[in-house]
Structure 1
Amino acid sequence: MSAGTRSRPLAEAFATVAGWLDGQKGTPPATRADAIADRFGLDPFGRNLLLLGAWAALDPAAGERIAALHADPRRTVPSLGLALVALPGANWRALAADAPLRAFGLIRIDGGDGLGSAPFALAEALLLALLDAPSLTEELALQARRVDPPADLSPSRARLSEAIRLRVLGEPGMTLQLCGPDPLGKEQAAAAALIASKRPLYAIGAAMLPAAPLDLARLAQLWRRDLMLTDGLLFVDAARGDPGPLAQFAELLRLPMIVATPDPLLLGQAPTVRLDMPRMTAKEQIPVWRDRLGPWSKRLNGTIERLAGHFPVSPELADSVAAELAVLAPGRGRASKPKKGAPKLEDIAWDAARRFARPRMEDLARRIEGEAQWDDLVLPPNQKDVLKAIVAQVRNRATVYESWGFARRSGGRGLGVSVLFSGPSGAGKTLAGEILGAELGLDVYRIDLASMVSKWIGETEKNLRRVFDAAEDGSAILQFDEADALFGKRSEVSDSRDRHANIEVSYLLQRLEEYRGLSILTTNFRSNIDTAFLRRLRFIIDFDFPGMGERAEIWQRIFPKDTPKAGLDFARLAQLNLAGGSIRNVAMAAAFVAADRGEDVCMGHILAAARLEYEKSGRSLTSAELRGWAT
């Protein structure tokens, strides 16, 4: 309602309304009905209709008077015909379906033999607004949440909140699209932006919007009415759901709203302003972590800086880590001492942060579970040195990029650590990714790049954007298999599809360079990758097919220490022309056979398992491979 409207209690106007029904003339005092009439563009008859409906709903004596005028004791609700006869300024045009009274759903017409005889009542939300108690109607209140302003905001959320506040005040007709990650942060930033104006913020999910056009139109009508009555703003989380109904809803609503979306959306003809969710630097995150972890921060021995360098903090994430520490931390009491073998405080905090930052990636890629260690990977020393260099760059990225200024010097470009693992299947590429994840304490997610490539223009980039945006929340290691799907050797551009393929490649290279984490591309054939792309990657490691010595070493390490073994000849086993992945398959199959027979794993079990492994690939064991075996 207009802040300048001086209104008197609604009850003071009821005497005038009753007089109208008796044929008297009179002008009611200014009430909230006048402010509402101005806001919705009602003529004087529309304003008077609101007063009649409010009198009928709120004054116990009104029902008897209305029934008498209808000459029917059962008809205690006013009809439109009565209003047309008794109210000043009466006109049929105000009752048209496209006139404000009905177009906004301000009145509810309950049937009757015709429009004139139909009883009417005020909408629930309208009646509450007339009583200066604005609220959503029950139907909307069941699907929406009123967002309470947060007690405080992280720096990135505070910057977004100020940008929202300026847009809401300066461009009130615009719909804001808040793009990027952190949907909860966007919601809280929006609520904080409305504090000064005391406007309520209501949040719904785009997935709740109906697809049927009539249902969507009805919902838009209800929201349009209730938002105008409450002076509220609608916040729509579009992270999930079909964007089609949302675009139609925005056009039907014809009011500003805030849309939180990972990617920019086309909202039909609705005028839109885009704001991006800013990310905090590691330096900005440190005080947020310290504040939220409270007394725990003093006991974390430098882990705060490590957390800030990898996990974009939000108050919710830091509070969750603090809650986990309160439950699991060893020696929680001052007099108590940690038990021997209890997890370290910093390990609890790190593991909690990793788990709480994980959910968005779970729907997009498969997390690789494993406990691989350096000793499990058989590689030449120089290749292991490259892997350790990768670990050093990921682990110390905040120090070098931010504290030492390399990010400013490079203009934010080339901050991602991108790696190519090339080599035959089973040569250890996936195992190397597992080891990097274990060494860094980060989750590894495996993505089939071929499955992300779409024939529809723009869909490949959208798929990749979702993965990278989600991965930023948890500093995940991204392992893209089948790199050939996008990075294959380019041919001459002959049509629009070729041009778009180059756009897809450029987009992926851009995100690889911008992603402040580790991205691994794998391929079975390095020769298939265009050399122009190879120059854009920071590291390249070739996983060659293992030689005899390396195969012997793999066989010695492949069996867990608890596996019972008998008479294994590792030199003989190394004769089998198998890569590491196939050796693992043979070892496991042999172990199952031995367990079923109640025996120790022996050469015979392995030979039988090897024959099956060879049959899978359509090969047969050669005489050289079987030399010296007791067959």
Structure 2
Amino acid sequence: MSGTAKLRPLADAFATVVGWLDGNKGAPPKTRADDIAARFGLDAFGRNLLLLGAWAALDPAAGRRIAELHSDPQRTAPSLGLALVRLPGANWTAPGADDPLRADGLIRIDGGEGLGSAPFALAEPVLLALVDAPSLAEDLALQARPVAAPAELSPSRAKLAQAIRLRVEGEPGMTLQLCGADPLGKEQAAAAALAPSKRPLYAISAAMLPGAPSDIARLAQLWRRDLILTDGALFVDATRGDPAGLALFAELLRLPLIVAAPDAVLLGQAPTVRLDMPRMTAKEQVPVWRERLGPYAKKLNGTIEKLAGHFPVSPELADSVAAELAILAPDPAKAAKPKKGQPTLGDIAWDAARRFARPRMEDLARRIDGDAKWDDLVLPPNQKDVLKAIVAQVRNRATVYESWGFEKRSGGRGLGVSALFSGPSGAGKTLAGETLGAALGLDVYRIDLSSMVSKWIGETEKNLRRVFDAAEEGSAILQFDEADALFGKRGEINESRDRHANIEVSYLLQRLEEYRGLSILTTNFRSNIDTAFLRRIRFIIDFDFPGVAERTEIWQRIFPKDTPKAELDFARLAQLNLAGGSIRNVAMAAAFTAADRGQDVDMGHILAAARLEYEKSGRSLTSAELRGWVQ
């Protein structure tokens, strides 16, 4: 049907409106006004008011005729009083604030001496819907993003799309909560579910909702009106934002939503159904990365597979990586062959993905900046072998779990790589974590587990959930210090507190086993950890206090090559009964003293620094430690 043919019933209805104003009776032909009236629960007078408003806006001759009826050449817009007097089925409750005409923002009243004399106009989206061109109001269009259905879906997304379609068709009044990772997958699944019914999907972020309740109410009114007019659905990414603001928005909207978040959120009285988003496999993510990286994709073979195996893809992340490549390597072909010392395209893409995946973790934990190498670790060969086994498991998890089928065989359980590092302070636990991060090219975040534990029921789990959910975005290495705070052997604890503690431990163990990155727990005393928990940890390394041979090696490596040094007696230095961390402190303090005096670092500087280090712990150097060194 042509555009003119579509509008013919509306033109005929305008003739009926003119007849009403002239005192004639008669029913208008069927138009989109009838459909809109039915959707918003308007009576016949409400529909007639819509037709009057449309005629006034679209017919150039309308203003002159309305002015004649008002006996005022300046009053060219229809008034509520005129409508109540001239239109059939006059309903004096229609102009009320609770009537859908005003409550849902269908008409705009521009003021006047009284409600009866106030001019009114149709909201622009209503007018567009009447001419069969429904669209969002300009303010909403600026904050919303239309989501198109993808040409094809990965198996995990297709499964979710089918579940959404069944719920939308079978329970149209229910708000759907899509839980789990992969916000992009949830969007695409929702769009695909709505595609057969040709319903548009609009996406917004809960973080964009205003803070003031009155502003939220106004926004909910606009969205309610335009979603009904367009037959659209609203997708809300609730990963960030104020949960209370979202709950108020959902309550005032009075329409079902599609809400996406890592876990379910409270939405007041809105009836909800939870659907869990299956995690996208690395194989499923590869084509998404390729599409988003555009011309760089062909030059990143191997790197894209690595990115897909470690960083859950999202539109923001992939587009940010593409933008970084465009800035640092504007010519993909030339950049694919870097000169000596220049980063490769793969290096640029990986570093960008790691940095852009950081933001949520930065507020929750302290990132350990370091570039430790394997040679920096002074450990027995068997312990280094364990650390290298950890690297192999994290690096190849997508291959073994997904491509080789171990994830299906295990039912998805126990896939997290977890390690316990035990040993005295300064024995190398933190340095080992730094080395793993450098070897894998991943950030290491240090979390004091004791600070996560709360006396308030449920707060510990909430604290841990925030950390793990944020870490999932960047595949970060999580190092939990003070593991004894949760995994320690129990003393006399009251029954209620004991149950509470068991729930906390169970939750942490569950997240450790589900987390797709590496989790490290540290403790100074392995004997403090309940053996029942140790069985759930995949790797355990005991970092012993270094012996003389290990201390000698640490001293030989502790000073950077650019540090000016006098001849140092490393055998004598190894007599100092210090762990690696303390040796580092002594070496740095000695370097500062030497720099201040304009001298090379010598044994005297180190001795003075060692005395200060010992004093920190209330100790003194023994004669055995100074034998053959100080006369």
C-alpha separation between the residues in 2 aligned to 1:51 and 1:298? 57
The alpha carbon displacement at 1:59 in A equals 2.1
Aligned to 1:608: 608
Aligned to 1:81: 81
Greater mean deviation of Cα atoms: 495-504 or 555-564: 495-504
Check the 8 A contact 1:6/1:30 in 2, yes or no: no
Go from structure 1 to structure 2 and tell me whether the alpha carbon gap of 1:381 and 1:280 turns closer, same or farther (over 3 Å shift): same
Aligned to 1:257: 257
Go from structure 1 to structure 2 and tell me whether the alpha carbon gap of 1:422 and 1:331 turns closer, same or farther (over 3 Å shift): same
Go from structure 1 to structure 2 and tell me whether the alpha carbon gap of 1:287 and 1:267 turns closer, same or farther (over 3 Å shift): closer
- Whether 1:396 and 2:408 are equivalent positions in the alignment is no
C-alpha separation between the residues in 1 aligned to 2:161 and 2:378? 52
Check the 8 A contact 1:154/1:314 in 2, yes or no: no
Greater mean deviation of Cα atoms: 230-239 or 104-113: 104-113
Task: Give CA deviations for 1:418-450 in whole Å, capped at 9, x if unaligned.
Answer: 111111221110101111222233332222222
Go from structure 1 to structure 2 and tell me whether the alpha carbon gap of 1:611 and 1:184 turns closer, same or farther (over 3 Å shift): same
Q: 1:427-466 to 2 correspondence within 5 Å? A: 427-466=427-466
C-alpha separation between the residues in 2 aligned to 1:332 and 1:98? 60
Aligned to 1:268: 268
- Whether 1:484 and 2:484 are equivalent positions in the alignment is yes
Aligned to 1:90: 90
C-alpha separation between the residues in 2 aligned to 1:315 and 1:21? 55
Aligned to 2:57: 57
Go from structure 1 to structure 2 and tell me whether the alpha carbon gap of 1:156 and 1:408 turns closer, same or farther (over 3 Å shift): closer
Go from structure 1 to structure 2 and tell me whether the alpha carbon gap of 1:344 and 1:376 turns closer, same or farther (over 3 Å shift): same
The alpha carbon displacement at 1:559 in A equals 0.5
C-alpha separation between the residues in 2 aligned to 1:350 and 1:610? 41
Aligned to 2:161: 161
Aligned to 2:414: 414
- Whether 1:576 and 2:588 are equivalent positions in the alignment is no
Secondary structure of the structure 2 residue equivalent to 1:275:
strand
Secondary structure of the structure 2 residue equivalent to 1:625:
helix
The alpha carbon displacement at 1:241 in A equals 1.6
Greater mean deviation of Cα atoms: 25-34 or 192-201: 192-201
Check the 8 A contact 2:564/2:601 in 1, yes or no: yes
Secondary structure of the structure 2 residue equivalent to 1:195:
helix
Aligned to 1:588: 588
Task: Give unmatched runs, 5+ long, in structure 2.
Answer: none
C-alpha separation between the residues in 2 aligned to 1:336 and 1:108? 59
The alpha carbon displacement at 1:558 in A equals 0.3
Identity of matched residues, %:
85
Aligned to 1:382: 382
Secondary structure of the structure 1 residue equivalent to 2:118:
coil
Task: Give CA deviations for 1:6-29 in whole Å, capped at 9, x if unaligned.
Answer: 874423222221221221222222
Check the 8 A contact 1:493/1:499 in 2, yes or no: no
Check the 8 A contact 1:154/1:288 in 2, yes or no: no
The amino acid across from 1:551 in the alignment is R
TM-score (norm 1): 0.90
The alpha carbon displacement at 1:150 in A equals 4.4
Check the 8 A contact 2:149/2:195 in 1, yes or no: yes
The alpha carbon displacement at 1:314 in A equals 5.6
Task: Give CA deviations for 1:317-355 in whole Å, capped at 9, x if unaligned.
Answer: 667767777887899659996544555565555545544
Go from structure 1 to structure 2 and tell me whether the alpha carbon gap of 1:291 and 1:42 turns closer, same or farther (over 3 Å shift): closer
Secondary structure of the structure 2 residue equivalent to 1:418:
strand
The amino acid across from 2:521 in the alignment is L
C-alpha separation between the residues in 1 aligned to 2:187 and 2:23? 53
The amino acid across from 1:103 in the alignment is A
Go from structure 1 to structure 2 and tell me whether the alpha carbon gap of 1:604 and 1:125 turns closer, same or farther (over 3 Å shift): same
Go from structure 1 to structure 2 and tell me whether the alpha carbon gap of 1:11 and 1:289 turns closer, same or farther (over 3 Å shift): closer
The amino acid across from 2:173 in the alignment is G
Task: Give CA deviations for 1:537-565 in whole Å, capped at 9, x if unaligned.
Answer: 12211112222332222111100112110
Go from structure 1 to structure 2 and tell me whether the alpha carbon gap of 1:302 and 1:228 turns closer, same or farther (over 3 Å shift): closer
The amino acid across from 2:575 in the alignment is Q
Task: Give CA deviations for 1:463-512 in whole Å, capped at 9, x if unaligned.
Answer: 32333233334333221112122112224552434322211110111111
C-alpha separation between the residues in 2 aligned to 1:159 and 1:626? 71
Aligned to 2:120: 120
Check the 8 A contact 2:299/2:332 in 1, yes or no: no
- Number of matched residues? 627
Greater mean deviation of Cα atoms: 165-174 or 303-312: 303-312
C-alpha separation between the residues in 1 aligned to 2:587 and 2:271? 63
C-alpha separation between the residues in 2 aligned to 1:593 and 1:58? 85
C-alpha separation between the residues in 2 aligned to 1:356 and 1:135? 34
- Whether 1:188 and 2:179 are equivalent positions in the alignment is no
C-alpha separation between the residues in 2 aligned to 1:595 and 1:367? 29
Task: Give unmatched runs, 5+ long, in structure 1.
Answer: none
Check the 8 A contact 2:336/2:345 in 1, yes or no: no
C-alpha separation between the residues in 1 aligned to 2:448 and 2:269? 37
Greater mean deviation of Cα atoms: 81-90 or 409-418: 409-418
